[in-house]
């Protein structure tokens, strides 16, 4: 039944946008099977690298980076809490996000008593918190970032049965193979693969074997990498050979997409460690060449520079094997999510994946999705309103269909898989 008034239409879109289950197609979260790799709780939330870099803006030469890194997690969390929440107001997206989390967990935000918050969560088990957070955030499927070169993670896959939680899915991360080949060779050799630094036939075969074995072992839904902004393709270099001769052939063999996240400049301030990464402009023609060279290979693409977003969205009009996804990292802020969602819907309709969370700490699912759902709902409602003014009235079923495409189905359809129940 067509919705007859604009206000009812807006209420319906908002209600559905805020409550519909979502597929979070890129996170750094893990299921409880991965033990300590799964980060959660108050202190982990406060020492999120987004908040670390924001806190250092309120410190001076008297407070060395080293002194911060030497502190315990709890001390670091206290330091950040004071700087960002007590001495200043938590206005930034990440700081505001922490408040959204406390609020949704039912904690008294007005007390500003950090120890109370710690205590409130202290008696929960990891499994309880996972259930609770997935319930509050309405996240149904969580994609992990899985790196077989990480010894702790590898042990879970090889010796402890891997992922057993059907709400979690693997994505095989291949950064070292593409961006730090000498190191990757050492790792491959230590895992028993006969690889050499020189790109020989044997090395190619062994890299493919490594990728295939791990795709199968993890049941990886896609291959993933973060690339610097100066990534050029095609080029006479290691990356192009690795992509053309190992990664794309293996993706094709297993029928999985290749996700490239392009535009990061690692450690511009090494003192900040994980918090020291920066964004940089990228060359969209690299993605264009990939999509044209491999028309039957699917590419999931996101970019980190605001300046690349429009061109990338236009490119998706040209290639059906290109799926644009998410507002990544520094773009995951209110103003950018709104801007990007608007022009993506204007250029692509609903054939886009508007958001992923990139969470590193479990409870972040709560704020990242709540903040994004609201904006995506508002943008969608404004598009329906324009149609309404021309006499085109959407039904509740159509709103559901469109939101489900944005939040779930575009991802699963792109994989060529039924969305699991």
Any contact of residue 277 with Zn ion (CB under 5 A)? no
x/- letters, 266..305, toward ligand REL (CB under 6 A):
--------x-------------------------------
Alpha helices in 255-357 (DSSP H): 284-293, 309-318, 334-348
SS3 at position 123: coil
Please identify which residue in 167, 360, 383, 409 interacts with ligand REL, judged by CB under 6 A.
360
Indicate the residue among 43 and 358 with the shorter CB distance to Zn ion: 358
The closest residue (CB) to ligand REL is 226
Q: What's the chain's Rg over C-alpha atoms?
A: 22
Determine if residue 233 is left, alpha or beta; phi over 0 gives left, psi from -120 to 50 gives alpha, anything else beta: beta
Indicate the residue among 226 and 410 with the shorter CB distance to ligand REL: 226
Instruction: Tell me which stretch binds Zn ion (CB under 5 A): 121-129, 195-203, 268-276, 352-360.
Output: 352-360
Residues in 179-238 at the binding interface with ligand REL, rule: CB under 6 A: 226
State whether the Cα torsion 84-89-91-94 is positive or negative.
Answer: positive
Q: Are 286 and 310 a contacting pair, CB within 8 Å?
A: no
Indicate the residue among 328 and 384 with the shorter CB distance to ligand REL: 328
Pairing of strands 139-143, 22-24: parallel
Indicate the residue among 28 and 413 with the shorter CB distance to Zn ion: 28
Please identify which residue in 206, 358, 370, 402 interacts with Zn ion, judged by CB under 5 A.
358
329 binds, among ligand REL, Zn ion, none (CB under 5 to 8 A by kind): ligand REL
Any contact of residue 358 with ligand REL (CB under 6 A)? yes
2 binds, among Zn ion, ligand REL, none (CB under 5 to 8 A by kind): none
Tokens for 297? 């290979």
Q: How far apart are CA 253 and CA 247, in angstroms?
A: 10
Indicate the residue among 360 and 401 with the shorter CB distance to ligand REL: 360
SS3 at position 265: strand
Q: What is the DSSP letter of 21?
A: -
360 binds, among Zn ion, ligand REL, none (CB under 5 to 8 A by kind): ligand REL
Q: What is the closest distance, in whole angstroms, from the C-beta atom of residue 71 to Zn ion in the complex?
A: 25
Q: How far apart are CA 340 and CA 317, in angstroms?
A: 15
Tokens for 252? 């094709």
104 binds, among ligand REL, Zn ion, none (CB under 5 to 8 A by kind): none
- In this structure, the number of other CB atoms found within 10 A of the CB of residue 60 comes to 6
Residues in 326-355 at the binding interface with ligand REL, rule: CB under 6 A: 329
Determine if residue 210 is left, alpha or beta; phi over 0 gives left, psi from -120 to 50 gives alpha, anything else beta: alpha
Q: What is the separation of C-alpha 312 from the centre of its chain, rounded to a whole number of angstroms?
A: 18
- In this structure, the number of other CB atoms found within 10 A of the CB of residue 97 comes to 22
Any contact of residue 24 with Zn ion (CB under 5 A)? no
Instruction: Tell me which stretch binds Zn ion (CB under 5 A): 129-137, 217-225, 268-276, 357-365.
Output: 357-365
- Please give the residue ranges that form the binding site for ligand REL (CB under 6 A): 226, 261, 274, 329, 358, 360
- Please give the residue ranges that form the binding site for Zn ion (CB under 5 A): 358
């Amino acid at each position: 039944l067509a919705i007859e008034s604009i206000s009812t239409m807006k209420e319906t879109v908002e209600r559905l946008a805020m409550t519909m289950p979502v597929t979070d197609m890129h996170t750094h979260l893990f299921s409880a099977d991965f033990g300590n790799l799964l980060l959660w709780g108050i202190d982990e939330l406060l020492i999120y690298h987004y908040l670390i870099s924001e806190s250092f803006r309120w410190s001076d030469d008297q407070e060395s980076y080293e002194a911060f890194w030497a502190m315990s997690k709890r001390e670091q969390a206290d330091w950040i809490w004071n700087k960002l929440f007590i001495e200043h107001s938590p206005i930034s997206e990440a700081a505001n996000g922490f408040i959204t989390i406390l609020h949704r967990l039912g904690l008294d935000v007005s007390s500003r008593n950090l120890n109370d918050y710690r205590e409130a969560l202290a008696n929960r088990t990891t499994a309880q918190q996972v259930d609770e957070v997935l319930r509050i955030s309405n996240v149904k499927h969580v994609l992990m970032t899985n790196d077989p070169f990480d010894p702790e993670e590898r042990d879970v896959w090889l010796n402890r049965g891997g992922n057993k939680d059907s709400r979690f899915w693997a994505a095989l991360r291949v950064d070292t193979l593409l961006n730090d080949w000498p190191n990757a060779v050492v790792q491959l050799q230590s895992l028993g693969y006969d690889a050499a630094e020189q790109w020989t036939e044997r090395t190619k075969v062994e890299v493919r074997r490594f990728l295939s074995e791990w795709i199968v072992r993890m049941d990886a839904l896609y291959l993933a990498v973060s690339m610097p902004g100066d990534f050029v393709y095609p080029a006479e270099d290691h990356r192009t050979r690795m992509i053309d001769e190992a990664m794309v052939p293996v993706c094709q063999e297993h029928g999985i997409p290749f996700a490239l996240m392009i535009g990061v400049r690692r450690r511009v301030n090494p003192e900040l460690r994980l918090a020291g990464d920066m964004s940089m402009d990228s060359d969209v023609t690299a993605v264009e060449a990939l999509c044209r060279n491999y028309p039957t290979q699917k590419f999931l693409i996101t970019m980190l520079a605001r300046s690349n977003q429009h061109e990338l969205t236009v490119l998706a009009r040209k290639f059906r094997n290109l799926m644009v996804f998410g507002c990544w990292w520094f773009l995951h802020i209110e103003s950018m999510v709104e801007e990007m969602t608007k022009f993506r819907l204007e250029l692509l309709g609903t054939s886009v994946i508007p958001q992923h969370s990139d969470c590193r700490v479990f409870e972040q699912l709560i704020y990242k999705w709540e903040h994004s759902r609201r904006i995506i709902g508002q943008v969608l409602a404004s598009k329906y309103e324009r149609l309404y003014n021309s006499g085109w009235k959407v039904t509740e079923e159509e709103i559901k269909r469109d939101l489900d495409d944005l939040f779930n189905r575009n991802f699963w359809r792109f994989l060529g898989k039924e969305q699991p129940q």
